[in-house]
Structure 1
Amino acid sequence: MYIPPAFRDDDKESLTATIRAARLAILVTATTEGPLATNLPLLLDENEGEHGVIYGHVAKANPHWRVPPVGEALAMFMGPDAYVTPVWYQTKQETGKVVPTWNYVAVHAHGPIEFFEDADRLLEVVTRLTNLHEGERAAPWAVSDAPADFIQSQLKGIVGLRMPITKLEGKRKMSQNRNAADRAGVVSGLSSSARPSDREVAPLIPV
């Protein structure tokens, strides 16, 4: 990932917070047949390894797990993002020398990937993923709510993945390269936007 110095995020807690908050990630592997990518929810276990370990699963019918990767895998996690119009910049009024851009938060995790079909490991992964995403519900659904034989049959249709993280890259592009007046204009513009995602980005901009 290209990261200019002004946008680099090296804070581990910030990086892991972005991973934890991401609802959906993109898993990419390079292969001799070309790059393969799959959108899927992933779980970060921060207690394993130096940088943590990522777990998830793909459909067994997905060819992604069958093609041997070349080098390490890449898991991409996106945080809040928003379009930034030049209209919000004070510099537009002064010189007109402005262009549109996009503010966003992104984390890339690199590491060797292992795919597995062991039923016990698969059950653990789907249980942890389910608990993670059901945890905020008033009446959360649990894997154990379904008949055990049904769950076992469902596990036969997926393949688990484990990726120990060897490197984390973080990018937090939040108008840090603009002057204070321009940043204030972006905050004002995003804060008054009808898009909830824009309003989520506004407080992340340094003022």
Structure 2
Amino acid sequence: MYLPPHFEAADPASLHRLIRAHPLGALVTRGEQGLDANHLPFEFDADEGEHGILRAHVARNNPLWQEVKEGQEVLVIFRAAEGYISPNWYPSKQAHHKQVPTWNYAVVHAHGRIRVRDDARFVRRLLATLTRTQEAEEPAPWKMADAPRDYIEAMVQAVVGIEIEIDRLVGKFKLSQNKEKEDREGAIQGARERGGEALAKVMQESMPAAMPPAAAPAAD
């Protein structure tokens, strides 16, 4: 991933927050048929291993778990808010017209090594954890015990667990940090008016309390 210094996100806590807030990751693997990508909800344990552990499950009919090799290097991509940024939103555009369109986004790439866990106990525990996390905001949270036991056991047998030990996390928060304060504020307002409240929020959060005079704008 191309990573200019002004867009690099190196704070582990910020990267962990993005993964937990946006747990649907794109798992990229290489098998006999070449590159493949599967979109899976992940459980993230930051306290296990040097950089954390990701856990997920796939359908037993999904060939991924049979094609990957134990310890094979994989990549999981987590993406948060994103959206188009029009040059018309920058006040400086009205003065010199030296602005172009771009796209803002926040992503985390988790590089690690995969392990297949064809283990009913592992899968059952993982499903319970994922369910508790996602149901937490519901007025009456659903739990696995709400369904017939034999039905749940059949569902458990129909999936296979995977575990990824993270070797490194790479974050890129491209949020107009290379623009002057007034242009960043204009982009935030433009994103909000376009319906991108989530993007506007993270852009606002990235604004320092006091910005020094900006250097010449860098390329996106």
Category of TM-score, reference length = shorter chain: over 0.9
Q: Is the 8 A contact 2:83 2:196 kept in 1?
A: no
Matched, 1:62 2:62: yes
Matched, 1:151 2:145: no
**Residue aligning to 2:82:** 81
Letter in 2 for 1:61: N
**Residue aligning to 1:139:** 140
Q: Of Structure 1 and Structure 2, which has the larger fraction of its residues in strand?
A: 2
Which aligned pairs between 1:1-207 and structure 2 lie closer than 5 A? 1-69=1-69, 71-206=72-207
Q: Is the 8 A contact 1:76 1:108 kept in 2?
A: yes
* Residue 200 to residue 23, structure 1, CA distance change in 2 (3 Å): farther
C-alpha distance in structure 1 between counterparts of 2:28 and 2:191, whole Å: 32
**Which whole-Å deviations, capped at 9, do the CAs of 1:150-205 have from their partners, x for residues lacking one?**
11111111110100111000011110111122112112222333344444444234
Superposition CA RMSD, Å? 1.7
C-alpha distance in structure 1 between counterparts of 2:135 and 2:39, whole Å: 19
* Residue 115 to residue 188, structure 1, CA distance change in 2 (3 Å): same
* Residue 101 to residue 204, structure 1, CA distance change in 2 (3 Å): farther
TM-score, structure 1 normalization: 0.93
For structure 2, the 5+ residue unaligned runs are: 209-220
Note the C-alpha offset of 1:23: 4.1
Describe the SS at the equivalent of 1:113: strand
Number of paired residues? 207
**Residue aligning to 2:214:** none
* Residue 184 to residue 128, structure 1, CA distance change in 2 (3 Å): same
C-alpha distance in structure 2 between counterparts of 1:143 and 1:160, whole Å: 17
C-alpha distance in structure 2 between counterparts of 1:198 and 1:75, whole Å: 22
Describe the SS at the equivalent of 1:30: strand
Describe the SS at the equivalent of 2:34: coil
Note the C-alpha offset of 1:107: 0.3
Note the C-alpha offset of 1:79: 1.2
For structure 1, the 5+ residue unaligned runs are: none
Describe the SS at the equivalent of 2:67: coil
Q: Is the 8 A contact 1:80 1:200 kept in 2?
A: no
Describe the SS at the equivalent of 1:121: helix
Describe the SS at the equivalent of 1:112: strand
C-alpha distance in structure 1 between counterparts of 2:149 and 2:107, whole Å: 38
TM-score, structure 2 normalization: 0.88
C-alpha distance in structure 1 between counterparts of 2:198 and 2:176, whole Å: 16
Note the C-alpha offset of 1:64: 1.6
C-alpha distance in structure 1 between counterparts of 2:34 and 2:168, whole Å: 23
